[in-house]
Each structure stands twice: as C-alpha cells, then as structure tokens.
Amino acid sequence: MYANIMRLTQDVKVKTVLLTEGEKSVCNNRVAISGPGGDQTTYINVTAWGRLAEFMGEHLKKGDEFYAEGELKNSMIPVYDENGNKKEIQTNYFLIDRIKFTHGNKKEEKKK
C-alpha cells in the first residue's frame, strides 16, 4: 500500500472500455508529488477503475490536490528501435484504490 498527496497535471478524462467481464470506466492521468519540504517534484502516471474513475471525472480537474491510496504497479509497453524491431520496456504507474479531498487547488490558492 502506498499513500501520498498528489496534484493533477491535466483534466480528468474518463473512458469506457470493453473487457471480458463487460464495460468498465477507466481514467488514466498524470500527477505531481512534492518531496519533503516541497523542494523536489516527482511525476507519475495514475489509473483508477470503475466508480472511482467516474467520481474523479466528476469532481476533480487540473491543478486539484487530493490524497490517494493504492499500489505501485509495473507494466510492459512495446517500443520500436530505429530498425523497426519491437522490444518491451518496463514502466510504473500508481493504481488508485481510494481518494480523499484535501481542498487544495493551485489556481484558487493564487486568487486568495
């Protein structure tokens, strides 16, 4: 289990995909996570499924901050070299299981 406060780097887009068990909502996004003291920022891809993905699409937008719990996952993605040969590289993403609002939005904070 991993948990941290994150900030969305783009608006949430929810898609419906067809899986063997039927249709399911999914949202893939990118977040910024500040290091201790806010001196270093790490960017990571995040994924949420089902009702949580729909909830995020309804209530979060670019710049919003939220607390998330979930798991760090690995996936393999295909890439091609200059000769067209296919190989796979490993990438990481954060699978969100639960979120909580922190009521932080960078744009709104600047207006105050």
Closest alpha carbon to 56 in 45, 42, 44, 66: 66
Does position 30 have pLDDT exceeding 50, yes or no?
yes
Residue 44 pairs in a beta bridge with: 31
Which whole number is the average pLDDT over 10-22?
94
Return the residue matching tokens 């990571």. 44
pLDDT bin (cut points 50, 70, 90) of residue 35 is confident
The H-or-E segment that residue 26 falls in is: strand 22-34
Does position 111 have pLDDT exceeding 80, yes or no?
no
Which whole number is the average pLDDT over 77-98?
93
Return the residue matching tokens 């639960």. 98
pLDDT of residue 112: 44
pLDDT of residue 110: 46
CB atoms within 10 A of CB 7: 18
Residue 82: what are its φ and ψ, rounded to 5°?
-65, -15
Closest alpha carbon to 5 in 34, 39, 26: 34
Task: Give pTM, 2 decimals.
Answer: 0.81
Does position 109 have pLDDT exceeding 80, yes or no?
no
- The CATH superfamily label for domain 2-111 reads Nucleic acid-binding proteins (2.40.50.140)
Mean pLDDT of the residues in the chain: 90
pLDDT tens, residue by residue, 40-73 = 999 999 999 999 999 999 999 999 999 999 999 9
pLDDT of residue 41: 92
Closest alpha carbon to 46 in 106, 82, 86, 92: 92
